[in-house]
Amino acid sequence: MKLSDGIEQAIHSVSMLATLPSGDVLSAAALAEFHGVSTSYLLKHLQALSRAGILATIPGPKGGYHLARPPENITLLDITLAVEGTEPAFRCREIRRNGPNPPPDSFFTAPCQINAAMLRAERLYRAELAKTTIAALLAQVERDDDGTIAARGCAFLEANARHTKPRTQ
């Protein structure tokens, strides 16, 4: 199965937004710059994440994106479905009915075994994605980081985060 590049970009963007202080936002351009990706392509996925209720936006020239819910309540499945859609990856076209001598209609009362196997695999795949939250991923990164990743992210956020309300001490 091949997922679009938008999945990786979306997961990394949501992860970065999860580290923002309350009241701060990041622009699509800043997120794209940090990840070295196209702003217009990333924007398409940020909008899909907003429609799915994963991100919220502050409009205007000083606006940007922030999480719409806590990172503990955002799973990889949520992000994948927002970006890729809810349709299964495998779509049976019943090609058994094609060709010069197809079986009789009575043969097609149940899904073919290939379709059934692919749907079982997809259910397992989605269940695994549903178990993994952004908060859990960030905790893993924090455990594995020697400080390099945190310093890089903090420096970028300090330079690019937009404050929508005064910070409290």
Could you give all domains of the chain from N- to C-terminal order, each with its CATH number? 5-163 (1.10.10.10)
| Cα–Cα distance for residue pair 123/169, rounded to 1 Å | 46
Position 89 scores a pLDDT of 85
109-160 pLDDT, tens digit per residue, is 777 888 889 999 999 999 999 999 999 999 999 999 998 999 999 899 989 9
Give the CA dihedral 104, 108, 109, 115, nearest 10 degrees: 170
Strands (E), 31-151: 55-58, 64-67
Position 167 scores a pLDDT of 56
Indicate the length of the chain as a whole number: 169
41-100 pLDDT, tens digit per residue, is 999 999 999 999 999 999 888 889 999 999 999 999 999 999 999 988 888 888 878 888
At 168, the pLDDT band (50, 70, 90 cuts) reads low
**In sequence order, which residues have a C-beta less than 8 Å from that of residue 35 and are 6 or more positions away?**
9, 12, 13, 42
Q: Which amino acid is it at 141?
A: V
